[in-house]
Structure 1
Amino acid sequence: MKNLTIENMTKACRGTYHGSDSLLGREAAHVVIDSRRAGRDDVFVAIKGERVDGHSFIPSVMEKGALCAVSEQDLGETSFPYIQVESTAQALLDIAKLYRDSFDIKVVGISGSVGKTSTKEMIASVLSQKYHVHKTQGNLNSESGLPLTVFDLQEEHEVSVLEMGINHFGEMRKLSTVAQPDVCVLTNIGVAHLEFLKTREGIMQEKTQMFQDMKPGGSIVLNGDDPLLSSIGPVKGVTPLFYGTSPDCGVYATDIQSRGLKGSSCVIHTPEGEFACLVPTPGSHMVSNALAGAAVGYVLGLTSEQIREGIEKLPFMAGRNNIIQTGRIIILDDCYNANPVSMKAAIDVLDLGIGRKVAILGKMGELGNNEKELHYEVGAYLAASGTDMVIAVDELAREIIRGIGDAGSHIETHWFATRDELIPHLGELIHEGDNVLVKASNSLGFSGIVQALQEL
């Protein structure tokens, strides 16, 4: 890997090298934290997790031909080289920064309370019409995930689109120091992670720390429909480019029309002109994602036609507003994660369906002291929707049903303690022609419900 010699890595993470000096100029083939993925000439960073301590796997990894280990422990006399550091988690970030610094490419950094991944996919789809794009895979957006994403950079990449997820104060700078974005994108400031960041203002304070590591001459792209983000003025001499539904934004949409579960049509306006397009995934929030893609595309020099093509070629993603037609039912697979804003947006998408509408909903995690109230509010929101049946899973999701009942709604409701308790009853609850939304926090494993629905 470019620039990742043992000597350079030791300096980058301020470690102490133990081993033969003759190896200092050797470059790593890969940098890994999963011992099962380690191979010949790889560098293994031993991370101590909640359940497993990577240090226990160092001997077996080195036996497989790894080049070097990174350890917090003094391993004593060994037959293999290793770098001893104070924190292997920080060393992973330091090595990733060293590797990122070896590439002269544009980096788009994305964060926000809701929609980071779907916005990342939209931006990547747009930029791929002009550039060879590298992007975050899956949910590798954390202090361990971001470095692994960076390590996938290759010489042919021209732009990197990096998702940055945080839920504690102090985490954003750890990520943005590595990413050093040329374009900083914030999608919204919602109520996700209130358990740790306490208030929406606290969330914004932490998210906007990304701007501190923006490259000179960089750009800031913000959702102008968000009341907190829209209040942000120039930062480090950079005036933000806002996107939204208001003509006051630099990039905005008009003539928005729902095409049901086929998506939405609209006219997008940029400083370079306007164009009509079809956003191929349903929901008003996807129009917002398209505007983010258009704004970043404009900043990085794409034509209106390239931006339109990128929006209309957006690929579907499992678990994220993914529509599955089985022949008997239509499944809205949005089970990757959930918070109050995304839950209500998914309910709005379900309302677009033709036929009976069923919502299978689980708990939303990391909501702090107001978690019951926020689940109850989702129930009240459902009561005012066109939903015909709600199936709630998990103890906390009882509050959703209570919110429905207290609103005087006649929505049919069912409750199950666990996913596995529900699955055997799907055949009797779900009817041919139903539109079925599946959504919950990822920890509930609702992908198993999606799979079971496809087998009905």
Structure 2
Amino acid sequence: MKNMTLEHIANACGGSYIGTEGKKTVCVSDITTDSRKVSDGCLFVPIQGSRVDGHDFIDQVIEKGALAVLSEKDLGIQNFPYIRVESSLKALKDLAEYYLQQLKIPVIGITGSVGKTSTKEMTAAVLSQKYHVLKTQGNFNNELGLPLTVFRLRDEDEMAILEMGISDFGEMRTLAEIARPKTAMITNIGYCHLENLKDRDGVFKAKTEIFEYVRDDGHVILNGDDDKLEQVCDVHGIKPVKFGLNQKNDVYADEIKSMGFSGVSCTIHTPAGSFKTLVPMPGKHMVYNALAGTCAGILYGLTLEQIKSGIESFQPLEGRFHIITTSRYQIIDDCYNANPMSMKASLEVLQDGEGRKVAILGDMAELGKDEKDLHEEVGTFAGSLKLDALYCTGRLSESLAAAAKKSNSKLDVRHFVDKDALLDWLPILLKDGDTILVKASHSMEFDKVVKYLEREEK
């Protein structure tokens, strides 16, 4: 890791080095907080959690080959070097910021209420046509996950694409201070984390904290169709590049046509010209992700041919509108997370499925005082679509189911007291050839529903 000697690490995080002089100038090979992922020559950063204290594993990680550790505790004189710090978590953030400064590569920070991960994947698919790109993996997008993503960067990486997730005010400021993005991208402002952020104005305020740390020579990419983001005309002297379906945007799409579960075809218009493409994932919302990736591609010097190739190479992740075909069903695994905007988008796409269209839905979390109304809103929307069945479980989804039934009395709507009851009934309710959407907030553990459907055979 470039310039990550123990001496530099101690200085960067304001810690005190305790060990031999000879080890001070040795570079660590990696930085980890997981004792199970310790490798030879790495630095182990113990985090004190609610259940486990990483300091309890210090002897173990040294035996496994760690070069040194950080510690909030006085370990006395040891036969290995360590760096004493006030807070391991703060030190981790300081080290990530320092490490990025050493690498001097552009960072694209992506946030928004819906579509952060798919937009990150799409943007990476596009920019990988020209650059060696490192992107956030899984849900490593918070104050702990983002630094760990940064530590995966190596000399060959030419660009970092970092997903930035928050749930309260001030959190984006912390992430942005680490990342110092050259490009800030916001997908939309929706209804999420309302327990802390209260309403969409609060979401807007929290998400746009990212602007405070955009580099002076940087860019801002925004969804120009979003009523909150369209009002942003200047970010510290930077004129935002806007995308959407409206022709007023800098980059826009038209001639949009659903190709079923094969994806969505469209024509994308840019200041550099236009091109036709197939976004290989269903849903109009995926066109927005392709447009965001197109904006990034143009700003970083890709040709339209390269951008088109990147869009068409996109691959969805497990749990995020991942389509699974079994001997009995076609399953849309979209159970990683859910909010009203993403729930409606997925339900709309379900209509393109073959056979009966069945939605299996669970609660949407962190919606605050309006949670019941927002579930009812999704239920009413589901009732307006060409669906055959809606099966729900969860306390809040009872309101969703009732609203769907009220909206469409012909729709087969059922609510189950818990997930086990739902699973007991599914073999009776489902039919061969069904297309089934499985979606809920991550806390509902609907990945178990997906696994159950995958296992079920005649």
Asked if the contact 2:356–2:434 (Cα under 8 Å) also holds between the matched residues in 1, the reply is yes
Residue number in structure 1 paired with 2:320: 320
Asked if the contact 2:263–2:281 (Cα under 8 Å) also holds between the matched residues in 1, the reply is yes
Secondary structure of the structure 2 residue equivalent to 1:50: coil
Asked if the contact 1:3–1:98 (Cα under 8 Å) also holds between the matched residues in 2, the reply is no
Asked if the contact 2:118–2:316 (Cα under 8 Å) also holds between the matched residues in 1, the reply is no
Letter in 2 for 1:355: G
Asked if the contact 2:195–2:366 (Cα under 8 Å) also holds between the matched residues in 1, the reply is yes
Residue number in structure 1 paired with 2:420: 420
Residue number in structure 2 paired with 1:437: 437
Separation in structure 2 between the aligned mates of residue 375 and residue 73 of structure 1, nearest angstrom: 47
The alpha-carbon deviation at position 231 of structure 1 amounts to 0.4
Asked if the contact 2:384–2:408 (Cα under 8 Å) also holds between the matched residues in 1, the reply is no
Separation in structure 2 between the aligned mates of residue 76 and residue 200 of structure 1, nearest angstrom: 51
Asked if the contact 1:279–1:311 (Cα under 8 Å) also holds between the matched residues in 2, the reply is yes
Separation in structure 1 between the aligned mates of residue 364 and residue 91 of structure 2, nearest angstrom: 33
Separation in structure 1 between the aligned mates of residue 408 and residue 419 of structure 2, nearest angstrom: 27
TM-score, normalised by the number of residues in structure 2: 0.97
Secondary structure of the structure 2 residue equivalent to 1:260: coil
The alpha-carbon deviation at position 355 of structure 1 amounts to 2.2
- What is the CA deviation profile of residues 298-336 of structure 1, one whole-angstrom value per residue up to 9, with x for unaligned ones? 111111111111111111211111112224221111111
The alpha-carbon deviation at position 408 of structure 1 amounts to 4.8
Residue number in structure 2 paired with 1:52: 52
Separation in structure 2 between the aligned mates of residue 5 and residue 424 of structure 1, nearest angstrom: 57
Please state if 1:40 is matched with 2:40: yes
Q: Which runs of 5+ in 2 are unaligned?
A: none
Residue number in structure 2 paired with 1:113: 113
Letter in 2 for 1:175: L
Separation in structure 1 between the aligned mates of residue 93 and residue 389 of structure 2, nearest angstrom: 46
Q: 1:1-12, aligned counterparts within 5 Å?
A: 1-12=1-12
Residue number in structure 1 paired with 2:306: 306
Letter in 2 for 1:442: H
Asked if the contact 1:125–1:313 (Cα under 8 Å) also holds between the matched residues in 2, the reply is yes
Residue number in structure 2 paired with 1:167: 167
The alpha-carbon deviation at position 419 of structure 1 amounts to 2.8
Separation in structure 2 between the aligned mates of residue 33 and residue 329 of structure 1, nearest angstrom: 40
Please state if 1:61 is matched with 2:61: yes
Q: Which runs of 5+ in 1 are unaligned?
A: none
The alpha-carbon deviation at position 50 of structure 1 amounts to 2.2
Residue number in structure 1 paired with 2:411: 411
After TM superposition, the structure 1 stretch with the greater mean CA deviation from structure 2, 55-64 or 7-16, is 55-64
Please state if 1:122 is matched with 2:122: yes
The alpha-carbon deviation at position 63 of structure 1 amounts to 2.7
Please state if 1:211 is matched with 2:211: yes
Secondary structure of the structure 2 residue equivalent to 1:404: helix
The alpha-carbon deviation at position 285 of structure 1 amounts to 0.4
Residue number in structure 2 paired with 1:238: 238
Residue number in structure 2 paired with 1:152: 152
- What is the CA deviation profile of residues 250-284 of structure 1, one whole-angstrom value per residue up to 9, with x for unaligned ones? 00001111112211111000000000111110011
Letter in 1 for 2:110: I
Residue number in structure 2 paired with 1:228: 228
Residue number in structure 2 paired with 1:263: 263
Separation in structure 1 between the aligned mates of residue 189 and residue 155 of structure 2, nearest angstrom: 35
- What is the CA deviation profile of residues 11-53 of structure 1, one whole-angstrom value per residue up to 9, with x for unaligned ones? 1111122222322111111111011111322111111112211
Separation in structure 1 between the aligned mates of residue 131 and residue 410 of structure 2, nearest angstrom: 52
Alignment coverage as a number of residue pairs: 456
Separation in structure 2 between the aligned mates of residue 374 and residue 53 of structure 1, nearest angstrom: 39
Separation in structure 1 between the aligned mates of residue 158 and residue 40 of structure 2, nearest angstrom: 28
Measured on the aligned residues, the alpha-carbon RMSD in Å equals: 1.4
The alpha-carbon deviation at position 354 of structure 1 amounts to 3.0
After TM superposition, the structure 1 stretch with the greater mean CA deviation from structure 2, 339-348 or 148-157, is 148-157
Secondary structure of the structure 2 residue equivalent to 1:392: strand
Separation in structure 2 between the aligned mates of residue 144 and residue 260 of structure 1, nearest angstrom: 39
Letter in 2 for 1:414: R
Letter in 1 for 2:177: T
Letter in 2 for 1:131: Y
Letter in 2 for 1:413: V
The alpha-carbon deviation at position 211 of structure 1 amounts to 1.6
Secondary structure of the structure 1 residue equivalent to 2:256: strand
Letter in 2 for 1:365: A
Asked if the contact 1:419–1:445 (Cα under 8 Å) also holds between the matched residues in 2, the reply is no
After TM superposition, the structure 1 stretch with the greater mean CA deviation from structure 2, 145-154 or 56-65, is 56-65
After TM superposition, the structure 1 stretch with the greater mean CA deviation from structure 2, 369-378 or 185-194, is 369-378
Secondary structure of the structure 1 residue equivalent to 2:396: helix
Secondary structure of the structure 1 residue equivalent to 2:92: helix
Separation in structure 2 between the aligned mates of residue 152 and residue 421 of structure 1, nearest angstrom: 43
Q: 1:290-439, aligned counterparts within 5 Å?
A: 290-439=290-439
Letter in 2 for 1:184: A
- What is the CA deviation profile of residues 96-127 of structure 1, one whole-angstrom value per residue up to 9, with x for unaligned ones? 11211111222111000110000000000111
Alpha-carbon spacing, 1:185–1:70, altered in 2? closer, same or farther (3 Å): same
Separation in structure 2 between the aligned mates of residue 254 and residue 368 of structure 1, nearest angstrom: 36
Separation in structure 2 between the aligned mates of residue 74 and residue 418 of structure 1, nearest angstrom: 48
Asked if the contact 1:4–1:98 (Cα under 8 Å) also holds between the matched residues in 2, the reply is no
- What is the CA deviation profile of residues 197-228 of structure 1, one whole-angstrom value per residue up to 9, with x for unaligned ones? 11211211121111221122111000001000
Residue number in structure 2 paired with 1:20: 20
Secondary structure of the structure 2 residue equivalent to 1:102: helix
TM-score, normalised by the number of residues in structure 1: 0.97
Secondary structure of the structure 2 residue equivalent to 1:360: strand
Q: 1:170-185, aligned counterparts within 5 Å?
A: 170-185=170-185
Asked if the contact 2:389–2:413 (Cα under 8 Å) also holds between the matched residues in 1, the reply is yes
Letter in 2 for 1:426: L
The alpha-carbon deviation at position 370 of structure 1 amounts to 1.5
Separation in structure 2 between the aligned mates of residue 64 and residue 133 of structure 1, nearest angstrom: 30
Residue number in structure 2 paired with 1:278: 278
The alpha-carbon deviation at position 376 of structure 1 amounts to 1.5
- Identical-pair percentage: 49
Secondary structure of the structure 2 residue equivalent to 1:261: coil
Secondary structure of the structure 1 residue equivalent to 2:377: helix
